[in-house]
Amino acid sequence: MHLPASYVSIGLKEKEPSVEKAADGGKEEKMLTLERAMELNKDMVTQDHLILHSNNVRYAMGAMARYFGEDEEYWQAIGYLHDYDYEKYPEEHLQHTKEPLLAAGIPEEDVRAILSHGYGICTDVEPQTLMEKSLFTVDELTGIIQACARMRPHGITDLTTKSFMKKFKDKRFAAKCNREVIRQGCQMLGMEVRDVAQVCIEGMKEHAGELGLLGTESSDD
């Protein structure tokens, strides 16, 4: 979740060898799992709309991983955990993420990926990998997808990229979603907004019921 907050420099050293132990003396995990991400978020992200956002980003990230031929569950885990400190520190977003997650044994590479979604807004961690660039992009993008789906009788189930782009171009629609960040992220990925949107829409469609995006006239009614 991007914030129009004062710029804060939070970074991690580039490409340092992984440490064998976490800051609290425990073993560092080899890779963040979805189960671990949910465990960490349990007490930090409790508000329904923030949990929903975490899941929106989770499934969009899973779809992006599939698109790029990467580990879907791993990317989902990063997406689910990305707003770890937002609920408790909304005005200091991502300033209370690095140390707690490293202490919990989360690999530095994964913490870096999470910090990178605030690049230029509340961190100076520039997205470099496909996963980081995807997270930076879909964080805001999923907000517009959700808003589009909620105004349709059949929710996201029949949402097309064409319909999405009409709303994307209307700056008054879902105005709090930063379109410049989305465009910047798509440029990093070397993709058009419509193409990233299509991937994310399809990924979220698969979980429409869980995301509350079946609409008011779903086939189940």
Residue 9 CB coordination number (10 Å): 8
Burial of 73 (0-12, 13-18, 19+ CB in 10 A): middle
Q: Would residue 218 count as lying in a domain?
A: no
Number of domains in the chain: 1
Confidence class for position 217, pLDDT limits 50, 70, 90: confident
* Confidence at residue 30, expressed as pLDDT on a 0 to 100 scale: 81
Confirm whether 217 is domain-assigned.
no
Average pLDDT, the chain: 89
Instruction: Give residue 208's identity as a one-letter amino acid code.
Output: A
The per-residue pLDDT for range 150-167, each reduced to its tens digit, is 999 999 999 999 999 999
Question: Do residues 94 and 111 lie in contact, with contact meaning Cβ atoms separated by under 8 Å?
Answer: no
Residue 212 CA to residue 207 CA, distance in Å, equals 9
| Residue 17 is assigned to a structural domain of this protein | no
**Is 95's pLDDT higher than 70?**
yes
Q: Is the pLDDT of residue 209 over 70?
A: yes
CATH code at position 175: 1.10.3210
Residue 4: inside a domain: no
Task: Name the band, by pLDDT with cuts 50, 70 and 90, for residue 199.
Answer: very high
Helix (H, G, I), strand (E, B) or coil at 109: helix
Q: How far apart are CA 60 and CA 93, in angstroms?
A: 21
In a domain, 211, yes or no: no
Backbone angles phi, psi at 205, to 5 degrees: -60, -35
Backbone region of residue 180 per phi and psi (left: phi > 0; alpha: psi in -120 to 50; beta: other values):
alpha
pLDDT one-digit tens code per residue, 105-143? 999 999 999 999 999 999 999 999 999 999 999 999 999
Residue 159 lies in a domain: yes
Residue 16 lies in a domain: no
CA 60 to chain centre: 8
Residue 186 lies in a domain: yes
Q: Residue 23: what pLDDT?
A: 46
Per-residue pLDDT, 216 = 83
Q: Determine the pLDDT at residue 2.
A: 54
Taking the mean position of all CA atoms in its chain, how far away is CA 21? 27
Which range of residues forms the domain containing residue 55? 34-205
